[in-house]
Amino acid sequence: MTVLLLALVVLLILVNGFFVAAEFALVRSRRSRMEELSKAGSKRAARALKQMERIDEYVAACQVGITLASIGIGFLGEPAIASLLEPLLGDVFSHGVATVLAFIITYAIITYSHVLAGEQAPKMMGIARAEPVLLWISRPLDLFRSAFSPLIYATNAPARLFVGRVLGWEISAESEAASSEELQVLISHSAVGGDLDPGEAGMLRGVFHLHEQEAREVMTPIPAVVTVDASSNVSGALELCYSSGHNRLVVIEDGNQDRVRGIVHALRLTRLLMEEGNEAPIEPAIREALIVPETKPLDDLLTELQRQRSSMGVVVDEYGRNVGVVTVEDILEEVVGEIEDETDPLAGAVRQLANGDWYVRGHVSLGDLGDRGIELPVDTDAFNSIGGYVFDELGRLPKRGDLIAADGYEIRVESVRENRIEAVRIHPRPKPPETA
């Protein structure tokens, strides 16, 4: 009889562990993962998804199971173990003392076994492997809920009434959508845990930062914008595209950068050249420019550019003055970093452009520039890179379009990411004529 009771105690501890694991798996499992498995045809996932939609009812079922198992463990375990201990202790102590000691030892053994095998270990399983555990327990949990539905309803209904009516809290199986801050924490944890590589994590963080940044932070300032007059002909505009390395030019009127007519693309200019010749006016190739305020968040700006099917916008300040231009590429570079393609004349760490300017990545050392004949008036050991040198000369956080002069060179900041200079353009200024 004692052996049978002990076997029942072990079984009840396992049953208790089953319901503990089920409860934590229900709470911890990701609904998105179950939806994915359900769409793939998993019947267990479909069942688990229904349980998650009625989570309060199934948590109540788990609590009923835990309570019944715990009562059974204490009810059967105490007499079974005590009956084994009392004869052993009776040989040493009086009957009264032996009974008390047997009760204390029995209580300690049952409590330890219950907590270890029936609570802590299953709890860890339910937390660490929530989805697999939920898939495994979904069917037996359904059967238990059906068998004990009156008792489960008797415990769940009053609890819902108390929470909903007395406390006034809304009870819903739907989980609240995660905030952007919570998602960023998840991204950081995934990156630290190795689920995301640094590049993926950086891009995801960049997406969230788009709403925090405005057009004026990534635009090219109007003094640094390559423009073409509306009265120019096709050949002149194409020569400007070639010398500047840009595929798109901002079209202005009468040489006034505050009077923007629109934008012209090298491809449309080429088509116009082939159809009408070198002297054809660029007017037919001009496309109206999208005008955006300088305070427009980048995510909204990207949506607007997509809706207008435009790759470039003209940025204006609060007084309506043109202050710069911004492109889709400028916005995307805030997410993925510097973008290069086979048509980009700025490819490579150091490259000389057709007009004689040098395009240089921010990490290039001053010594490497000296090897190419670009001698800057600075100790090459004082700075690790051209980006560091320009940063020091500015004396503040850099932004795209910043200019510094350096002994015969004009250096313009071309790209900035996370307050770091990623690329500059070095323009050799003509030397003044020597006086006799």
Q: Is residue 433 part of a domain?
A: no
The structure tokens 């715990």 sit at 70
Of all residues in the chain, the percent with pLDDT exceeding 70 is 86
Is the predicted pLDDT of residue 183 greater than 70, yes or no? no
Among 336, 365, 382, the domain-final residue is 336
State the total domains in the chain: 3
Same domain, 15 and 141: yes
Helix (H, G, I), strand (E, B) or coil at 196: coil
Same domain, 156 and 37: yes
Same domain, 125 and 224: no
Least confident interval from 17-26, 54-63, 97-106:
97-106
Same domain, 108 and 257: no
pTM: 0.49
Diameter over CA atoms, the chain: 125
DSSP type of residue 432: P
Helix (H, G, I), strand (E, B) or coil at 265: strand
Is the predicted pLDDT of residue 42 greater than 70, yes or no? yes
Interhelix angle 55-90/43-53, nearest 10 degrees: 90
Q: Is residue 192 part of a domain?
A: no
Query: Which of 246, 42, 196 is CA-nearest to residue 132?
Result: 42
Q: What is the CATH number of the domain that holds 398?
A: 3.30.465.10
Task: Give every CB contact of residue 402 below 8 A, 6+ residues apart in sequence.
Answer: 390, 394, 412, 413
Same domain, 144 and 220: no
The structure tokens 């819902």 sit at 160
Same domain, 331 and 356: no
User: Phi and psi (nearest 5°) for 255?
Assistant: 70, 10
Distance CA 251, CA 261 (A): 5
Q: Is residue 200 part of a domain?
A: no
Band of pLDDT at residue 18, cut at 50, 70 and 90 = very high
Among 107, 137, 166, the domain-final residue is 166
The reported pLDDT for the residue numbered 76 is 85
Distance CA 37, CA 278 (A): 62
Parent domain of 37: 2-166
The one-letter code for the residue type at 389 is Y
Mean pLDDT throughout 116-139? Answer: 88
Q: What share of the chain is helix, strand, coil (3-state, %, to 5)?
A: 55, 15, 25
Among 273, 302, 336, the domain-final residue is 336
The reported pLDDT for the residue numbered 285 is 87
Same domain, 332 and 366: no
Distance CA 362, CA 389 (A): 9
Distance CA 55, CA 61 (A): 10
Same domain, 305 and 222: yes
The reported pLDDT for the residue numbered 11 is 92
Same domain, 331 and 354: no
- Tens-place pLDDT, residues 343-381: 454 445 777 776 778 888 888 888 788 888 888 877 766
